Structure 1
Amino acid sequence: MRRRRSLRSRLTLVIASAVAAAVALSAAVCWFLIRDQTQGQVRDSLLEFVPRTEQVALALAGCDGDDTARQSLPGFRGAGPPHPWDPSGRGWSVIRADGSVCVFGDSDQVVPTAEERALAVSGGAPVLRDAVTQNGSEVLVLTRTYTPQPVPPGAPEEVRRLAVREPVAVSVFRSTEDLSGTLRILALILGSVTVAGVVGAALAGLWLARAALRPVQRLTSAVEHVARTEDLAIRIPVEGTDEIARLGRSFNTMTAALSSSQERQRRLVSDAGHELRTPLTSLRTNIDLMLRSENTGRPLAPEAKRRLLVNVKEQFEEMSSLIGDLLELSRSAETGERSADVEFHDLVAAAVERARRRGPGLELRVDLRPWRVHGDVRGLQRAAVNVLDNAVKFSPPGGLVEVRLADGVLTVRDHGPGIPDDELPHVFERFWRSPSARSLPGSGLGLAIVAQAVRDAGGEVRVANAPGGGTVATVALPGTPGESG
């Protein structure tokens, strides 16, 4: 199986490739622009050259071997054979209709193509092409039809005799070897620049990849450390506000939340074990006592045995209540799946009826206004029940419990002994029980369950001492006015 490249090497390769492509493209565009510009200059110089009638006549006379007539032309007597190359480096020749090329002496020449020979016969658009002369020089050739100039009246007989009357074409050519050499040097320079750019881009890409992926490496090391040691206290340093920094902050937030959850679970297990130890010890003691009485042949008195069984039953009920509260408190947060629109006033009304049955001698003054909330039905129902159960538990016989729900705020007030001020901050802690209430039934989880259910629904819960005695529990939940049942 082929091994996949690392992210760093892939990022380096992408950066180097992108820069290399950009440098190569720029070098190629530069080379083609310079080539086209220099070739354009050569082409313009060829277009500028138009041989005079006398020059064309001399070329034709030289081609026919009429040296005497050539020397008789005005302006050329005693000048010797004119060279076809002018000072600008251009050369030219004349192409006849039969395809022959007329130049002077051993001057260099270009073999015409069929298209260029056709220009001498029928005319047409100029032909521009690259060619190689007979001496092996690279040249750029421009061939076009030559239009003879009319012989002026009174011209000498020699001029009339040598006047160009036949259809011909003129080829003008210029060497491009210097241009080719310059372009080769330019290509070498641009190629060197491209190679240097690729190497520089690779080094820069490697540096950028290392710098960009350094936070990712720290995050990877932290994740591997957590997976190896289960140490959720680790944090990674975060700098900046980019996506990597956001990822680092999210990781730190996640590990902090997991660490807090792990600590809560650890504390829950520890507290649960501590709370279960007492009823289990009591159960084992009572059962051992009954077994010992049966094994020794000294059975317990019926009344003592009944009290012992009642105590065992109460211990079982206490354990069942404690285990139920633990399951309720530690259940997975499934609010997203179990959330629904809830008529909260109906849940409170059901909790009030349950409280009436548990406190038959109490007076419950109830005022409930319709209120609809979005949350976990089971959790909100348990919260309402626990708040009212606490009020019933701590109310004196024949006491008054006031229950009011208005605008999403549920207040439950009892007229019991109240809670010492130094104990109020602890009422929502798990397994916390006031020293004055340890003789009463309960697990110390009721208000913790209330707090969790209310928080899951986006609300707030408070417990305070009421003026004139007793306590008042306040549950505020976001929602909308509901429909009256």
Structure 2
Amino acid sequence: MNSTAAAGAPLRRFRALPLRSRLALLVAVAVAVAVAAVATASWFMVRNQLRSQLDASLRNSTVDNRYVRMLLNACADPSTGVPPAPGSYTVQIVTAAGTTCTSPNASPIEVKQEDLDVAAGRRLEVLHTTKARNGADMRVLTTFKRGVPGITPDSVAVSLTRPMSEVDEPLSSLAWILLVFSGLGVLGAGAAGLWVARTGLRPVDQLTEAVEHIARTEDLTVQIPHEGDDEIARLSRSFNSMTVALASSRERQAQLIADAGHELRTPLTSLRTNIELLARSEETGRPIPAEDRRALMASVKAQMTELASLIGDLQELARPDAAARGPLKVVALHEITESALARARLRGPELTISAALEPWYVRGEAASLERAVVNVLDNAVKFSPPGGTIEVALRAGELTVRDHGPGIPAEELPHVFERFWRSPSARALPGSGLGLSIVARTVQQAGGTAQLWPADPGPGTVAVLRLPGAPTPPPDQP
């Protein structure tokens, strides 16, 4: 448990850093890993190349019998002079017995078993690394040489060596150069990463400032400037679209409250006046004539009904779309229309309502769809003349309701689905101006469209609701 917590502590500290610091750190780490990999690979390549060159120089150098004879004579008689080996080479003769003879001014080289094998003739050549007596690392090429006439009848091994410092010193210098430049590269990458992070995240900073400003002031008019089509620009455009939508939603909400207050004021004022008249009659003991009292009570009842209808419409419109939809199921639109027709006939018993309904199944919320159809039929009943006719038809998902009332002027048709909008000719009739708004919203949620246009031939109005569906229910539906 403790080890796991300790292992996760660096990750938590890293996540606690600001985003730009994390980006700069990640860039620096990525560059450091890449530079380290390149530097390491370069170092090994140079080392292998230098060693190959050193081995090649040993193989390309030869020691003739004359020099071997001179070196063996010098070892037998130290007073005999012998020139040193050419260049930086060291020459050492090894016998099968293990005795050695080294060129002048050179430290003897440690003899290995491979050298003895060459001296005994068991191997012709061996290349290895060993140490000199003075501790220096030496690269050794030992070759077989037969007995030298006049000097020794036995075969010997001639070791030609060069110090490994010829390779190690350049490699050490290269390692320091790579280390210094790698460090500078990592520091530069970190600085560049921080600059890139600051530059790249500037729009995010603007977005953060805008969000904080909106949280403090609730000012939804803030817009973030954006250019290009990258992810940051898309995020800025999405944020601007969101603030516009929120501002529009708040404006609609404020307008809904203002319109609702205006619409509620009229029935409430009428109710208050009627109730005050009744209360004053009771307080003064002066009874209201029976006919007037019945009229007052009927008015109170009508205003209460209008208030209840208005509040119900407001509740329907105030619900979010997801809540308003409820569970979507496949429902029979023709059956819903028949139920709505029964209610419409009760509200307009003096009217003739004809219906021709073909089966049609849609996916939606049955109660909401029935309310939408009822609202359309209520409008037709409300504006139909006494003894008039209303024609209802449902064919291929298109529900039409045609009345023979006064109709709607062409200039008013674009406003009929707006909330609280009422035609001047309908303001004297009961209603809230929300019925067709609810119709349009419900039909759109079901994937359809709602339209109104003047009847041809007139007078009258035709309401058309188009809903996607099928004439038969899906196989999994009853």
User: Deviation of residue 466 (structure 1)?
Assistant: 1.0
User: Deviation of residue 342 (structure 1)?
Assistant: 2.2
Are 1:383 and 1:449, in contact at CA under 8 Å, matched by a contact in 2? yes
Structure 1 partner of 2:446: 457
Are 1:325 and 1:446, in contact at CA under 8 Å, matched by a contact in 2? yes
**1:243-322 equivalences in 2 (<5 Å):** 243-322=231-310
**1:347-362 equivalences in 2 (<5 Å):** 347-362=336-351
Are 2:91 and 2:103, in contact at CA under 8 Å, matched by a contact in 1? no
Are 2:83 and 2:104, in contact at CA under 8 Å, matched by a contact in 1? no
Indicate yes or no: 2:471 matched with 1:481: yes
Aligned sequence identity (%): 50
User: Deviation of residue 463 (structure 1)?
Assistant: 1.0
Structure 2 partner of 1:100: 99
User: Deviation of residue 448 (structure 1)?
Assistant: 0.7
Structure 1 partner of 2:177: 189
Aligned equivalents of 1:332, 1:248: Cα separation in 2:
26
TM-score, normalisation: structure 1:
0.88
Indicate yes or no: 2:370 matched with 1:370: no
Aligned equivalents of 1:420, 1:208: Cα separation in 2:
62
Aligned equivalents of 2:191, 2:105: Cα separation in 1:
59
Which one-letter code corresponds to 2:157 in the other structure? A
Aligned equivalents of 1:282, 1:336: Cα separation in 2:
35
Give the CA RMSD over aligned residues. 2.5
User: Deviation of residue 134 (structure 1)?
Assistant: 3.7
User: Deviation of residue 104 (structure 1)?
Assistant: 4.1
Which one-letter code corresponds to 1:11 in the other structure? L
Structure 2 partner of 1:414: 403
String of CA shifts for 1:410-449, please: whole Å, max 9, x gaps: 1111000011222222211111111211221111111011
Structure 1 partner of 2:216: 228
SS state at 1:338 partner: coil
Are 1:369 and 1:405, in contact at CA under 8 Å, matched by a contact in 2? yes
SS state at 1:161 partner: coil
- Work out which of the residue numbers 387, 398, 418 in structure 1 matches 2:387: 398
TM-score, normalisation: structure 2:
0.89
Which one-letter code corresponds to 2:146 in the other structure? P
**1:438-453 equivalences in 2 (<5 Å):** 438-453=427-442
SS state at 1:398 partner: coil
Structure 2 partner of 1:72: none
Gaps of 5+ in 2: 1-8
String of CA shifts for 1:179-220, please: whole Å, max 9, x gaps: 333223322322222122112211210111012211211111
User: Deviation of residue 67 (structure 1)?
Assistant: 7.6
Aligned equivalents of 1:127, 1:64: Cα separation in 2:
26
**1:103-114 equivalences in 2 (<5 Å):** 103-114=102-113
Which one-letter code corresponds to 1:190 in the other structure? L
- Work out which of the residue numbers 37, 43, 47 in structure 1 matches 2:55: 43
User: Deviation of residue 118 (structure 1)?
Assistant: 5.1
* Aligned pairs, number: 461
User: Deviation of residue 132 (structure 1)?
Assistant: 4.3
Aligned equivalents of 2:441, 2:428: Cα separation in 1:
25
User: Deviation of residue 362 (structure 1)?
Assistant: 1.6
User: Deviation of residue 111 (structure 1)?
Assistant: 2.4
Aligned equivalents of 1:460, 1:326: Cα separation in 2:
22
Are 1:94 and 1:169, in contact at CA under 8 Å, matched by a contact in 2? yes
Gaps of 5+ in 1: 69-79, 150-158
SS state at 2:250 partner: helix
User: Deviation of residue 379 (structure 1)?
Assistant: 2.1
Structure 1 partner of 2:19: 7
Indicate yes or no: 2:37 matched with 1:25: yes
Are 1:343 and 1:482, in contact at CA under 8 Å, matched by a contact in 2? no
Flag the 1:127–1:401 CA change in 2: closer, same or farther, 3 A.
same
Structure 1 partner of 2:132: 133
Structure 1 partner of 2:77: 65
Structure 2 partner of 1:90: 89
Aligned equivalents of 1:381, 1:143: Cα separation in 2:
106
Aligned equivalents of 1:105, 1:417: Cα separation in 2:
131
Are 1:61 and 1:67, in contact at CA under 8 Å, matched by a contact in 2? no
User: Deviation of residue 367 (structure 1)?
Assistant: 1.7
Which one-letter code corresponds to 1:172 in the other structure? L
User: Deviation of residue 135 (structure 1)?
Assistant: 4.9
String of CA shifts for 1:434-475, please: whole Å, max 9, x gaps: 121122111111101111111112221111111221011111
Are 1:403 and 1:412, in contact at CA under 8 Å, matched by a contact in 2? yes
Aligned equivalents of 2:124, 2:364: Cα separation in 1:
88
String of CA shifts for 1:302-321, please: whole Å, max 9, x gaps: 22222211111111111011
Which one-letter code corresponds to 1:141 in the other structure? V
Which one-letter code corresponds to 2:378 in the other structure? D
SS state at 1:410 partner: strand
Which one-letter code corresponds to 2:384 in the other structure? S
Aligned equivalents of 1:113, 1:165: Cα separation in 2:
19
SS state at 1:162 partner: coil
